[in-house]
Structure 1
Amino acid sequence: MEAAMRERAQAEARAEAEMEARQRAEAEARARAEAEMAQREMAQREMAMAEPAIMAGPTASGACIDSAGYGSSFDCVDLFFGTNRNEEPSEAGQVLFGGRAAGKSTLGVVTVTVPIERLNMPGSPVKKLSNANQSVTMADRDEYFAIWGWDEQDPTSFRRLVGAELAAATEYENSALVFVHGFNVTFRSAAFRAAQMKFDMDYDGPTFFFSWPANGSTLEYLSDQDDADISVAPLTDFLQLVRESVGEDTKIYLVAHSMGTRLAAQAINRLSLIEGDDEPFFERSLFAAGDLDRELFRRWIEPARGLVGELTIYTSSDDKAVSFSRFLRTPGFGSSGGEDVKSRIGLIDQNLGPSIFDEAMTIDITDVNTGILSNFFGVNHADYVESEVTIADLEALLRGGAFMPEARNGNFVRQCYNGRPYWKYIKGGGAPDNSCVLPF
């Protein structure tokens, strides 16, 4: 009896010891696994911190999630693009396309990192590394706009990704933004500008930009105009794809800048021949600092007026880039008067006044930046987004608020020129001139 009890006790003790041994082994295995996982995560974090640049590749844009894991302060901004530029990637991953027409178009998604410090500086100038071919460190991304990576897409995957971002939007529902850049702009700079607009407005709808093969040099002005004109068909195709991607019920907003207004106006005219102009293609359009002859604007836009939607024109008397364009084009290098003056829609002409068109809101934004650097050293060609005033106005347009300029900003004061109304930004406001009747 006693022997049986001793054997039972010994068996229970052995079983208990074996269970404790198994538990210790399992605990040690878990600890080793957790330690190995922690080491892998640390190694990945250190690798990311040490990586001087993210190479463009098929999964590059998807890797940019947020900056917290890198100990940095930047946000990732995804943009949809179309371009007819030649592909010309650099080792540093910051130059993706060159300045020559490729003979075909490329679709894709490009990811731009934007310094978080911009949260307190909407409308401030875009800071970028001066050398586009140098590698970008994580510390650089805290201070400068930079390319993270890009993915080429076919039309089917492009439409699918657009649909996903459109469905996820909560701040700007059923809304899409299209940007067409101007002269002397590289693909990289166009991406940065589109990212700036999206970031500064906290815009969560899909943002598109079309990058035509501008050369990125002030010495290539005439070449850039040719490149803009041969890009009309590719832009038209891209706009049709944008509409297919977002659906008929989504409101598309257009921002065209500088020589991009020339390209956009021709593409809109071509769209009217394809689709008619009974229904607006764009909900609202902004033509900013337009390097476009007034008569060409009328010729291209008036037959297609129904597609443009509610139209705003930003003009200025101090845009040195558009002023130089007028100088180059006018006989006698700007000295010719009368009808020979090649007036631009983005420049207030001393003889012809501001460009005023029926059913368009022309706003003189000369004084939105009045600092010494702007007045004496600035070109003032980017005031359409490099000002708290204009970036807030663009946001108001995209949020679908009132369209009349004085309702968008009390400092947009109505003026009259030859009996026709336009608006001028006057800091602090002023008395409107109501002597001219609104033609709409």
Structure 2
Amino acid sequence: MLVLLMGCVVLAGCAARPDVGALKVSDQPAAGATEHTILIATTRARADAPDTYFSGERGKRRDFARATISVPPAHKPGRVEWPSVLPGDPSRHFVAREAGYLDDGDSFRRAVNAALADRPAHERDVFVFIHGYNTLFAEGLYRFAQVVHDSGFTGVPVLFTWASRGNVTDYVYDLNSATVARDALEHTLAELMRSDARRIHIMAHSMGTWLLMETARQIPSGDLTRSADRIGQVVLAAPDIDIDVFKAQMRRIGKPPRPYMILLSKDDRALSLSSRIAGGKARVGGYENDRELAELGAVVVDLTDLDGPDATNHTKFTAIGAIAPQLQSVLAAQGLDPGEAQPATGLADAGRDLGSFVRSTAQIAVTLPVTLLTIPVALAGAAE
């Protein structure tokens, strides 16, 4: 039965995936394409195949790289337009423009600082993305480029990629790889704290949220307190964490000075499978009790009514870039701007015009300890 369920998840998300040679560089010009340079820290082993860079096996130590990804001018928010033939057509596809290894952690930090120095002072933020289970290296990289592009983030994007094999049947291997990566993530975040970044924002997806929470749990509380003013928004997208484990993690970490944002969907098929593997225990990303999560120190964004990019409903977070400015304006109006450490207060009626609906509407339920607020949000370019 478990194999059958896994097969259903595979079939639900069986679109072409970037793997061997996926970072083959294209120098073909494309008017209107937008380039994003992403710095990379990883626990993956280097790949032998050309233009692949990292495999799904575990490396002996952290490694570092940098890649520039081009987004096509006709890109639709929430999607990654994969090329069917590499390196792809930059006028229609996501393509690599440049890629290469960095020597070590010092080179990585210098690259971060150089990228920050190239930006105006108010844009010197870092955005860290930690992917989830069943994710190939290039897949996580291209997906992050899509999120950066759709959200309009203008700071420095940093991908932390751990040794997922990108195979749906390797759940236990991936979980162990995430466990192995905790110290590496801690060291990477510490290096970013020592950088010239004004503020560091973090988004983790699926099993990556477990890695992030376990890493935060092991950081000494004094270090967390000292770095609190440098941590901006923390987003946990479709968290693949046992609800009891999450409660224990939050008790150990303590209530954050700025509420974590949890993106969940109660129709997430991948998390339903994860729950079955874990003995029927609910996962945070599909949890029914929004208010209980809010009491732990979270803003809960319920994406159940949003159409996902695939039938698993596990990657709805990829559409968050399209709604980020509107959602951010509502949070800021209620004293929850990630740039300001203000206590969460009860929400009254938003009383705000969030703009006209473009094609489809997501009902975004923002839950705080006192009030449940449902906000209609326009999704520009959403599929009909």
SS, match of residue 367 in structure 1: coil
Matched, 1:263 2:217: no
Q: How far does residue 399 in structure 1 lie from its aligned partner after superposition?
A: 9.2
Rounded to whole Å, the distance in 2 between the matches of 1:210 and 1:174 is 19
Rounded to whole Å, the distance in 2 between the matches of 1:286 and 1:54 is 28
* Alignment equivalent of 1:285, drawn from 212, 217, 234: 234
Q: C-alpha offsets along residues 223-267 of structure 1, whole Å, 9 cap, x if unaligned?
A: 1111111111111111111111235xx111110110000000011
In structure 2, relative to structure 1, the CA distance for the partners of 1:396 and 1:88 (3 Å cut) is farther
Rounded to whole Å, the distance in 1 between the matches of 2:180 and 2:257 is 22
Pairing 1:24-423 to 2, within 5 Å after superposition: 70-71=29-30, 73-91=32-50, 93=51, 95-118=52-75, 121=76, 123-129=77-83, 135-137=86-88, 140-153=89-102, 154-170=104-120, 172-247=122-197, 250-272=198-220, 275-280=223-228, 282-305=231-254, 309-330=258-279, 334=280, 342-349=281-288, 355-369=293-307, 378-386=311-319, 390-392=323-325, 402-403=335-336, 406=350, 412-413=364-365, 421-423=371-373
Q: C-alpha offsets along residues 193-218 of structure 1, whole Å, 9 cap, x if unaligned?
A: 22112222232211111000011111
In structure 2, relative to structure 1, the CA distance for the partners of 1:385 and 1:55 (3 Å cut) is closer
Rg comparison, structure with higher value: 1
TM-score (norm: length of structure 1): 0.67
Rounded to whole Å, the distance in 1 between the matches of 2:149 and 2:365 is 28
Rounded to whole Å, the distance in 2 between the matches of 1:143 and 1:266 is 39
SS, match of residue 284 in structure 2: coil
Q: C-alpha offsets along residues 398-425 of structure 1, whole Å, 9 cap, x if unaligned?
A: 9999527858996645669xx8655555
Q: How far does residue 364 in structure 1 lie from its aligned partner after superposition?
A: 1.1
TM-score (norm: length of structure 2): 0.76
> 5+ residue gaps in structure 2?
1-20, 338-346, 355-362, 379-384
The answer as to whether partners of 1:54 and 1:149 remain within 8 angstroms in 2 is: no
Rounded to whole Å, the distance in 2 between the matches of 1:260 and 1:397 is 27
Aligned to 2:341: none
The answer as to whether partners of 1:165 and 1:206 remain within 8 angstroms in 2 is: yes
> 5+ residue gaps in structure 1?
1-52, 335-341, 429-440
- What is the one-letter code of the residue matched to 1:223? Y
Q: How far does residue 100 in structure 1 lie from its aligned partner after superposition?
A: 0.7
Rounded to whole Å, the distance in 2 between the matches of 1:88 and 1:414 is 42
Aligned to 1:47: none
Q: How far does residue 279 in structure 1 lie from its aligned partner after superposition?
A: 4.2
In structure 2, relative to structure 1, the CA distance for the partners of 1:271 and 1:390 (3 Å cut) is farther
In structure 2, relative to structure 1, the CA distance for the partners of 1:287 and 1:227 (3 Å cut) is same
In structure 2, relative to structure 1, the CA distance for the partners of 1:107 and 1:352 (3 Å cut) is closer
The answer as to whether partners of 2:40 and 2:66 remain within 8 angstroms in 1 is: yes
Q: How far does residue 178 in structure 1 lie from its aligned partner after superposition?
A: 0.7
SS, match of residue 100 in structure 1: strand
- What is the one-letter code of the residue matched to 2:139? S
The answer as to whether partners of 2:81 and 2:93 remain within 8 angstroms in 1 is: yes
In structure 2, relative to structure 1, the CA distance for the partners of 1:215 and 1:398 (3 Å cut) is farther
Q: How far does residue 127 in structure 1 lie from its aligned partner after superposition?
A: 1.8
In structure 2, relative to structure 1, the CA distance for the partners of 1:111 and 1:413 (3 Å cut) is closer
Please provide the CA RMSD for this pair: 3.4
- What is the one-letter code of the residue matched to 1:100? E
Q: C-alpha offsets along residues 144-174 of structure 1, whole Å, 9 cap, x if unaligned?
A: 2233332222333322221222123249523
- What is the one-letter code of the residue matched to 1:189? E
Structure having the larger proportion of residues in helix: 1
